[in-house]
Amino acid sequence: MRWGVTYSALLFNLVLTMEAFLLTRNLLTLLMCAPIHGVCALLCARDARFFDLLLLWGRTRLPAHLATLHLWRASSYSPLTLDLPRGDGRRRSTPVVPLAPHGRRAVSC
């Protein structure tokens, strides 16, 4: 830890401040470093691994979430659509898919 924050938090602070400085080209934006460091210090005081867990979530769960968002157009793993009412308040008729033909039993493995 450096100055009350972990190295991950320090790196986050420096990247955010430098990015703002490069976008605005104003030296006063470098003063953003102090309040951001204070927030990072409060977060690290509550849980020292906060930024490590945030980075871990960003490397594991975020790509999975974005992949399902792209595939299903929702943040769900299920391809089933919601049965929401239309504008007039009536529900859409959902197609009924029979699982086995009539008179036959489904074969289990």
Instruction: Kindly list the domain boundaries of the chain, sorted by start residue.
Output: 7-72
Pick 56 or 97 by higher pLDDT. 56
Distance CA 83, CA 96 (A): 13
The label of the residue with tokens 């460091």 reads 37
CA separation, residue 28 to residues 2, 21, 34, 90 (Å): 24, 8, 12, 57
For residue 102, what pLDDT band results from cuts at 50, 70 and 90?
Answer: low
SS3 49: coil
For residue 17, what pLDDT band results from cuts at 50, 70 and 90?
Answer: very high
Beta bridge partners of 85: 91
